[in-house]
Every structure is written in C-alpha cells, then in structure tokens.
Structure 1
Amino acid sequence: MNPSIGRRVVDVHAHFAPLTSSSSTGPDPWISRDGSATAVWYHGSHVDSLVREVVDPTILIAGEEAIGIQEAVLSPWVALLPQTEDPNLAEAACQRLNAAMAETVAREPRLSAMAAVPMIEPARAIRVLTEARAGGLTGVEIVPTVAGEFVGGERFEEFWASVAETRTPVFIHPSSKGMGIDALQGGYLWNSVGNPVETAIVGAQLVLSGLVERYPDLRIILAHAGGVLPSVFGRIDHSFSVRPEPKSRLSHEPSWSFRRLFYDTIAHGERELAALLAAVGPSQLLFGTDHPFDMGDYDQLTGLESLGLDPVALEAILGGTAARLFGLAAVQA
C-alpha cells in the first residue's frame, strides 16, 4: 500500500527556477523549450542533472501528484542564489527572485515557497526576509558559506537571532560547488561527497558554536538528511567528553542540539534513514525529494512504510511537521 493514501504529503525539498528568458549571452541561467520539454542552460552549458520540471509550476505539481505528493514547499534552485559579494547587487537579485517565487505560489494553493536573502550582510538579509514573508513566502533557503565563511560564525549572529525570534524555517542547502576542492571535481564527487560534507560542516558548526542552545526557537532544516553529519554524532559527543573546546560554548553534549535540528528524508538508503530516525526521532524529519535533480529520491513513500513507523510518526514525517513549521493551511481537495 502507498503510505500517502489518506495522508497529507508535503515535499519540503523541491527546487524551482522562475526563468523565462529564452537566450543569454552571460552566465545567468536561461531556458529553451522543445515542445513540452524544458531545458535549462547555465554558464553556456546544458544542465543535464535536471530530470524533472523546474520552471513550470503546473507541470511541477502534476509531477509531484503523480508520485503521491499533494503539496510542495519550493526553494530556489541554488544556482539562482546571488553569488556576488556586492551587497546592493545581492539584495536586488534576491528581491527579484522572491517576487517571482511569491507570484508563482500565489496562483497555486498546493505550492508555497522560501525566500532568498543577501547573507553577505546579515542586516540586509533580515530586511529582505521580512519583506519576503510579508509578501507571502514561508521560510528562507541559504547555503552553508558566504564569501568563504560558514554561516555559523559570529558575524551572522544577528541573522540567527532574528529568525529564531520570528520562528522562520531556515533550509540550509549545500552550495553544489564541491567546496573548491580539486579532488571532488571528477566522478560527480562534488555532489555525492562534497554536498553531504558541506552540510555536515555547517550543521556541526551551528551546534558547536552554541547557536542552537542559545536560540531554542530556531527552526533549522538540513538538506540530504544532514549529509554525513549523523555518522559522526557519536564522535562529536566523544570530543565533548574529552576536550575543553566543545565545552567552552555548550552546556549540553552536542547530540542534545543535534536532536533539535530538522532533517529531510533524502538519505538514499533505508539503513541510513533508520539510523537518523533512531538518533533524532521522527519529530525532526521532514519528507523531501530533491526535485527535480538526478540525485533526488522519488520512491521514498513505499520505503518509509518498511521502517515500521507508527501512524502518528509517519503522518508527522510526511506532512504534519512541515505544515506546523511553515504554517501551511489545509488544502481543499
């Protein structure tokens, strides 16, 4: 039996690109169409990792429904997040993107969306996020690093204090660059290894910096089931027991904070997902697919049933927790 039957299923890891341009002479993404198929180009190259619809919301939600998903919380395709260090350019790019995302979801009650913010200046990020939320967006997507600095650093404290106060969900997605490590550039390692390592670093930094302890209302969601972070929970706890450095900013062992983060379900393996469930509990998991990329997991609904979850826990993972965090209204059938 498909476990989505009779239950609310919300995809919290679904990317969208509100692109309309059919040609480009610069590095910005653009699209071309061949009948009903959409192709995306970036820096002059075809993005062949896109295996599902990314620019047409009607086709996107139809594709989600075809695999048992009723709703999606869209996040911008990471390539669209501003990479410039110029605060003015970054702010303008985020505002354009947020306006397009808000316009898209306003037409489709089964879709909601997260904002982009210029993290290069945390005060600007707060202002842009406030505008975006007033315009109907329900959360924010950020990448782990800004100009080479991980976002758990002290410079970003103002941002974290603000999103904790407003209880805004923050979805942290790897930057998909392989962290600039040459050894990750072959064999698709920048994605299969680099992305989960990047997520693990930022998750560990947020916890070891004491941010999660200081701001108990933070709603941080780590992509790809936390990357490789869950595999080192025990090792990080051990460092707390034997070294003074982790104790300098923490009152509890790190796993106490790891159990307060949220994680999507894209673990690419029932064993890995079961281990994450055992470590943090079903209340911290949110269903996600990584739509529309080739590294997405589109067959999880049946696999989740094999984990032996009780109905309440399963319903929370599939959509209940997402509805609570993002403030999603019930969608009428």
Structure 2
Amino acid sequence: MSDTISLCEHRQRKPIPVEQRGRHLVVDLHCHLNVMAAAAVIRAQVSDPPDPLRFMSPASKAVMKQLFGQIGPKLNGVTERIADMDRLGVDVQAISPSPGQYYYFAPPELGREAARATNDGVAAAVGQHPDRLVGLGTAPMQNTEMAIAEMRRCVKDLDLRGIQIGANINRRELSDPEFRPFFAAAEELGVLVFLHPLGFTHGERLAEHYLDNIIGNPLESTIALSHLIFGGVLQDHPGLKLCVAHGGGYLPGYWGRMDHAYRAREDCRQHICCEPSSYLRKVWLDTLVFDKVQLDALVRSHGADRLCLGTDYPFDMAEPDPVGFHDQLSEADAAKMLGLNAAELLGLKVTNRAAR
C-alpha cells in the first residue's frame, strides 16, 4: 500500500514555476553538467576506468583536451551557464549529467554511490537557480533494482524531472528483459527518460575526423531506438515518456525501410503488432540536427508535438543559435518546440510572460 501511495505522490509532483522572457517560452532539454564529486568517487576505487575517447585519433584527443580546458567552468558549474542562457535566449535548462558520468562499468554498489553523488550534485546546481534550471538524473543501470530505487529517490527526494540513460548498458541492448522493470517503473512514475549515447560501441573505423561523435553518436541512438521498437518495449509501455537526443539519430530519416521489413518478414514482427514507424512517432526527439531543411523534415514526418529544443550545451557540437534555428516555423509549431512540449514533459508552469 505504501508503494502505491508513493507512486501517486510522484505523479502529482508540483509544477515548477518558470518565467517566459521572450516571445516564446524557451526550454533547452539537452544540456549537461559534470559533477566532480561523482568523478572523485570513481577515481578513488577504479584505477583504470574505460576511456570514453578510445575510438578517437590523436588529433581529435588533442582538440578534446583543449575543449575541456575552455568549457570547464561552464560544464562544472552554473554561473557562466546562466549568463550564456541569457545571451542565447534560453529561459530554462534541463541539466543532465555529462554522458561520461554514466559509470555503468563500476561494480553495482560503487555505481549506486556514484549515481547518488551525481544526482545530489545536479539537485544542488538546480537549487542555486530553481527558476532557470531543472534536473535530470542518472541511475546505476548495471543493477536494475538499484536503478529503480535511485530513480524513485531522484523523483521523490530531489524533485528531479527525468533520468538520462545511455544507448546501451555495458554493450547490452536496452530491450534486454533485465531492463524491462526499469522502463515499467519509469512509465508508472510518469518520469521522462532521456536517451543520450556516448560514442559508438564499435568505433574502430570512426577514429579519424571526430567520426566517433559525428557519426557514432547518432548511429548508437539509431540502434538503441530500433531495439526498443522491434523488441517490443515501446509497445509494452505505451505511456513511457522517452526522448532521444540528436534528433533521434538516423531512424527518423529512414523509417520506411523498417516498415517495409515489418511487412515483408515475420522475424521483424516477433514482438510488435504495428508498423515500427508508429512506435517511433510516439517518442519525443530533440531538435539538435543543425540544418533547417532537416528540421523541417522532422516536423513533417514526426510532428511538432513530439519535438523539443536541445542544444548540447556547453560542448562544441552544440547548436549556437537555438532560438534562431527555429525561426522558419509557424508560430504554433515554434511555441511547442521551443518550450511548451518540454514544459509538459518536465512539469513546468509559466508564471509570467514578457510583453510581446
């Protein structure tokens, strides 16, 4: 009985008041914070953690070293972040952990400790500017029971509004039966699950030219989302609030091929009863696609109701003009994609609108 009451409380969490400063409410659903306390937890007990840059050439690694030196204050804190939000016209950032802080490789107990430190750090950052920042947490996905418990703590105790997960868990697909209870719990809680990759698992051919990120990140999301669709996770959990970074990878631009396979082959119909694209269109995507023609194509094929502005702040692969990038849209579509869709997902309530 107590668990049922707790879940009801989670679903009825209070809206977060935010202020709209411009023509539209602008909510950045895709931006990151590095929590140094969590990194220290891992360093203290893991002498040789996996290298997230292992599939990058020496030239790309050199650029990354320089980049982290430049963006460190923005990635690790909030002071410069707020100034940048004002400059970019962003009212609210939904900050999620830097993808390098998943720590799925750690033993479960250590992973839980690091996840708690990460989530406490995100909550503390939000507490400094609760009118400008909302938080997405992380979960120790290497142990599903622990992941669910930490997700519930994020929602109940820290008032975080979602959980960011990787595109695979130690090279295991998200459709693995072991992870089903996690998605069931997220659906029941009504909490946003933000799927964000960290390079490509088989990036041996992508070392040069930063291809591990340029091609690898969207490809990793494409594979993960395909497994969630064909594996039946989205069919079995129709109320799951799933948002996929980087415009959902390549799947939204080539969904016809998987629909054809569904019609032509019985092995593509093992766990689903409808065309794969029907599940794809129930997922939210961010708008980090960098080209307005591609953005228009997303609106036509996916619908403005399921698209949310995302920048990937503060990395160099971020959208430099998030509001201007959407200026060719209709007034109604722009309002939804710039902020209203994300506000609904995150439980935000506009308390004041600037005069137009």
Whether 1:182 and 2:199 are equivalent positions in the alignment is: no
CA spacing shift, 1:101–1:201, aligned 2, 3 Å: same
Match of residue 110, structure 2, among 76, 86, 89:
89
Distance 1:20 1:210, change over 3 A: closer
Structure 1 CA distance, aligned partners of 2:102 and 2:299? 31
In the aligned structure 2, how far is the partner of 1:299 from the partner of 1:100? 28
- Amino acid aligned to 2:201: M
Aligned counterpart for 1:318 among listed residues 338, 345, 348: 338
Match of 2:95, SS? strand
Check if 1:288 corresponds to 2:310.
Answer: yes
The answer on 1:142 being equivalent to 2:161 is: no
Per the alignment, in what secondary structure is the counterpart of residue 149 of structure 1? Answer: coil
SS in 2 for 1:48: helix
Which letter maps to 1:13?
H
Answer yes or no: is the 8 Å Cα contact 1:51–1:294 preserved in 2: no
Cα distance in 1 for partners of 2:178, 2:271 equals: 16
Is 2:267 the counterpart of 1:239?
Answer: no
2-side partners of 1:154 and 1:82: how far apart?
21
Q: Report runs of 4+ in structure 1 exceeding 4 Å deviation.
A: 20-28, 49-52
Aligned residues: CA RMSD: 2.3
- Residue 178 of structure 2 aligns with which residue? 155
Shift of 1:234: 0.7
Match of 1:10, as an amino acid?
V
| Contact 2:193 2:241 (8 Å CA) reproduced | yes
Q: Is the 8 A contact 2:231 2:271 kept in 1?
A: yes
TM-score (norm 1): 0.88
Aligned to 1:268: 290
Contact 1:138 1:169 in 2 (8 A): yes
- Partner Cα separation in structure 1 for residue 39 and residue 345 of structure 2: 36
How much does 1:152 deviate?
Answer: 1.9
Query: Aligned partners of 1:212, 1:51: CA distance in 2, in Å?
Result: 40
2:126 equivalent in structure 1: 105
Structure 2 residue 139 is the aligned partner of structure 1 residue 122: no
1:97/1:22 CA distance change after superposition, 3 Å: closer
Match of 2:243, SS state, is strand
Alpha-carbon distance between aligned partners in 2 of 1:122 and 1:241, rounded to the nearest angstrom: 34
8 A Cα contact 2:37 2:117, kept in partner: no
| Cα distance per residue 1:14-69 (max 9 Å; x no partner) | 101133799989678xxxxxxxxxxxxx9xx8362676421221211210120111
Within 2, Cα distance between the matches of 1:231 and 1:174?
A: 18
Q: Structure 2 stretches of 5 or more lacking a match?
A: 1-20, 50-60
Quick one: which amino acid aligns to residue 198 of structure 1? Answer: E
* Residue of structure 2 aligned with 1:71, choices 92, 99, 121: 92
Q: Structure 1 residues 50 and 281 mapped into 2: Cα distance closer, same or farther (>3 Å)?
A: farther
Partners of 1:73 and 1:50 lie apart in 2 by: 23
Q: 1:133 to 1:47 in 2, by over 3 A?
A: farther
Distance verdict in 2 for CA 1:149–1:225, change over 3 Å: same
What TM-score do you get using the length of structure 2 for normalisation?
0.82
Cα distance, 1:300 vs. partner?
A: 3.3
CA distance 1:145–1:70, change in 2 (3 Å): same
Gaps of 5+ in 1: 29-41
Q: Are the counterparts in 2 of residues 85 and 147 from structure 1 also a CA contact under 8 Å?
A: no
Deviation, 1:249, is 1.4
User: 2:65 is matched with which residue?
Assistant: 46
Deviation of 1:5 after TM superposition, in Å, equals 3.1
Percentage of identical aligned residues = 27
Between structures 1 and 2, the one with greater helix share: 2
The answer to whether 1:15 aligns with 2:15 is: no
Shift of 1:187: 1.2
> Which residue of structure 2 lines up, in the alignment, with residue 32 of structure 1?
none
- Distance of 1:6 and 1:273 partners within structure 2: 20
Deviations 1:95-120 (A, max 9, x none): 01111111110221210111110101
Q: Does structure 2 retain, via aligned residues, the 8 Å contact 1:61–1:72?
A: no
- Structure 1 CA distance, aligned partners of 2:254 and 2:224? 13
Change (3 A) 1:260 1:51: farther
- In structure 1, C-alpha distance between the alignment counterparts of 2:39 and 2:272, rounded to whole Å: 51
SS at match of 1:95: helix
Q: Paired residues, what number?
A: 312
Give the C-alpha shift of residue 84 in structure 1: 2.2
- Measured after TM superposition, the shift of residue 312 of structure 1 is 2.2
Superposed displacement of residue 233, structure 1: 0.5
Q: Which has the higher contact order (CA 8 A, sep 6+)?
A: 2
Deviations 1:167-209 (A, max 9, x none): 1100000123x31321111110100001110000011111111
